[in-house]
Every structure is written in structure tokens, then in C-alpha cells.
Amino acid sequence: MFAYLEGNLAYKSASLLHMDVHGVGYEINITLQTYAKMQHLDKCKLYTHLQVREDAWVLYGFADEEERTTFRQLLNINGVGAATARIILSSLTTDELERAVSGEDNRTLEKVKGIGAKTAQRIILELKGKLTKQKNTSSPTAVIHNTTQEDALIALVNLGISRGMAENAIKKIDNASSLTIEDLIKQALRAL
């Protein structure tokens, strides 16, 4: 719903910001990594993730697109909620997390509050190979010039289909790069 917010910082703490955007105050939950980059600023731009729950709408903010993407990938892991994902990204930078996952370093993940051995193994299993790909495609040009397959993947995820299932469905389609977005989405839905 909100891609990013840019405005004046009315209040700052290690876990929360209040951002004034043209007279509207947004309460934004942040990680310690984001706070470290924002603590001396009066105005900033945050990439956001809106979580809609039964009892509240919670807005999360990140200093860069890479951290937001990693947060969203953590949310896709069974047993990892927004609070746990935020704790992970407060304890580890995205580079440290990527090294821990690629090196299958359970101990680093288990040092994070609330992460046990089973959750650490699940995080490694689910994120193995995904964080490296994300770094290579996180440049602004990659976002501006989406391919048809990326656009279809985003649309499928927005329809409520898990990212993994959507990726697998798109991979099953022959000549996917020659299809229009609409046709690719229709065929991916049939492949599910």
C-alpha cells in the first residue's frame, strides 16, 4: 500500500519513529540498523511495509530496499512473524544474515533473542540462495525496469499466493518471456 514515506522526523527512538508527511503523522516501527542510519537526521525517506492485522495496521520502515526485502522474506518463513523478523534485522545486518544463511551458521542465528535451533534451521533452509539473488537485483534500475515475469510474480504475491508457489508456477510455463503479463498470470494461476 505504501512504497515509501518521506518527511520530517518528529520523534525518534531505537524502535519507533514518528514521521510528519505533509501534516500527517505516521508511527513507524524500525530496526536498530535503520535507527543507526536515521538517528542524526531531521528528515528522511523510509521504505515501508504495512502489516494489516485483525486488531491493528502496523507500519514498518527501513532505511534501504534491501532491508525491507529481507524483512518480507523472513515473514514468509513459517514461525517467523513481524516482531521476530524485526529482532533478527536489529541484531544482524543484512550482510551478516546473508553470511550466516550461506554458511549455514546456526549459532549466529541462535544468538538472536527468540530464535531457537529449529527456527534457525528453518530460516537457513528457506533463505538459502535467496538473499544473494536479492542483492544482485536490488538496484533502482532493477525496480524501474521490471521484466514481465517479475511483474507477474508481484501480482501473484499481491493476490495472496506465497512467493515460492508463484515462482514455481511461473517456472513451469513454456515461453514465459514471450507472453503478456495478463497471459502469464492466467497460466500461472492454472499451473497452481
CA 48 to chain centre: 9
pLDDT of residue 132: 63
- Domain identity same for 41 and 55: yes
Which pTM value belongs to this model?
0.68
- Domain identity same for 72 and 127: yes
- Domain identity same for 72 and 131: yes
Going by C-alpha positions, the residue among 101, 190, 189, 179 that lies closest to residue 147 is 179
Residue 141 lies in a domain: no
- Domain identity same for 58 and 69: no
- Domain identity same for 48 and 83: no
pLDDT of residue 137: 44
- Domain identity same for 124 and 76: yes
Phi, psi of 125 (to 5 degrees): -60, -45
Which residues, 6+ apart, have CB-to-CB distance to 165 below 8 Å? 192
Per-residue pLDDT 10s for the chain (192 aa) are: 789 999 999 999 888 999 999 999 999 999 999 999 988 999 999 999 999 989 999 999 999 999 999 999 999 998 899 999 999 999 999 999 999 998 888 899 998 888 999 999 999 999 988 876 554 444 333 333 456 777 777 777 777 778 888 888 888 888 777 788 778 887 888 777
pLDDT of residue 141: 35
- Domain identity same for 45 and 108: no
Q: How many domains is the chain partitioned into structurally? A: 3
CA–CA separation, 92 and 170 (whole Å): 32
CA distances from 45 to 4, 63, 136, 185 (A): 7, 7, 22, 32
CB atoms within 10 A of CB 147: 12
Helix (H, G, I), strand (E, B) or coil at 175: coil
Q: In this structure, which amino acid lies at residue 176?
A: A
Helix (H, G, I), strand (E, B) or coil at 115: coil
CA–CA separation, 8 and 83 (whole Å): 25
Residue 10 lies in a domain: yes
**Boundary residue ending a domain (62, 77, 105):** 62
pLDDT of residue 143: 38
Q: What residue numbers bound the domain in which 114 lies?
A: 65-136
Residue by residue, what is the 3-state secondary structure of 92-153?
CCHHHHHHHHHCCCHHHHHCCCCCCHHHHHHHHHHHCCHHHHHHHCCCHHHHHCCCHHHHHH
Enumerate helices (H) and strands (E) in the chain, giving the number of each.
11, 5
pLDDT of residue 136: 45
- Domain identity same for 84 and 33: no
Q: In this structure, which amino acid lies at residue 75?
A: L
- Domain identity same for 128 and 164: no
Q: Any idea which residue has 494461476 for its cell?
A: 189
Residue 23 lies in a domain: yes
pLDDT of residue 174: 80
